[in-house]
Homo-oligomer: A and B are copies of this chain.
Amino acid sequence: MTSKRLLKDIEFIVELDKMKSILRQTSLIDNSKRENDAEHSWHISVMAMILSEYANEDIDLCKVIRMLLVHDLVEIYAGDTFCYDKEGNKDKKERELEAADKIFGMLEEDKGRELRNLWDEFEEMKTKEAIFAASMDRLQPFFNNYFSGGGTWKKFDVSKKEVYKRIAPLKESSDELWEFTQKMIEDAFDKGYITRE
């Protein structure tokens, strides 16, 4: 007899497949297509492995990765809300909380709770792991914009001030990455990838 617990796990795993169809605004660096949530979640998880050595504090890398792997699952139901979309961000929290109940509620209580705790911690952005995870989440589209020649900065006429605000968690998580990122923002401005102050 297959346990009810395992059957729920399988249903959850099947549901995860939908992440491959949730499009984000960010495009690939070669500009061939927009990336989706599954691709983004993978990219930032590997980035955490590569960049964790630059964290100002000792961080639990495994926790950061587990957080990043599930941080966007709510978008299966709530959709992707573009970070610079003021209108969409008004009810984002509400939509995502509802989606969190739904997606994590698919699993047995203890298991759903474990993933929900990771998501809550990520969203609250208070622990050093959550702040580092947020830094990866923001740095990846930043790189894709920069190395594709402007990306969503250009497309949506995002200001330098808005870019600085978005990337702010890095300031707290890593001096070395923050220093480098600042240079990139100024360079992006000089190159015309960002056109407004």
Question: CB within 8 Å of B: which residues of A?
Answer: 2-3, 6, 9-10, 12-14, 16-21, 28-30, 32-33, 35-36, 38-39, 41-43, 45-47, 49-51, 54, 61-62, 65-66, 69-70, 107, 111, 115, 140, 143-144, 147, 176-177, 179-180, 183
B42→A45 contact, CB < 8 A: yes
B13→A50 contact, CB < 8 A: yes
- Minimum Cβ distance to chain B for residue A120 (Å): 16
A143→B65 contact, CB < 8 A: no
CB neighbours (8 Å) of A18 from chain B are 30
For this chain, the copies found in one complex come to 2
Q: Which residue of chain B is the closest to A63 with respect to CB atoms?
A: B62
Among A43, A180, A183: residue with most chain B CB under 10 A = A43
A43→B65 contact, CB < 8 A: no
CB neighbours (8 Å) of A33 from chain B are 20
- Minimum Cβ distance to chain B for residue A172 (Å): 18
A45 CB contact (under 8 Å) in B2, B45, B179: B45
B143→A10 contact, CB < 8 A: yes
CB neighbours (8 Å) of A12 from chain B are 50
Knowing A38-B38, A41-B42, the reply to whether A28 touches B17 (Cβ < 8 A) is: yes
CB neighbours (8 Å) of A62 from chain B are 61-62, 65
A66 CB contact (under 8 Å) in B16, B49, B143, B177: B49
Q: Which residue of chain B is the closest to A148 with respect to CB atoms?
A: B17
A20→B39 contact, CB < 8 A: yes
A-B CB proximity, top 8 nearest: A62-B62, A42-B42, A38-B39, A20-B39, A38-B42, A17-B29, A41-B42, A2-B180
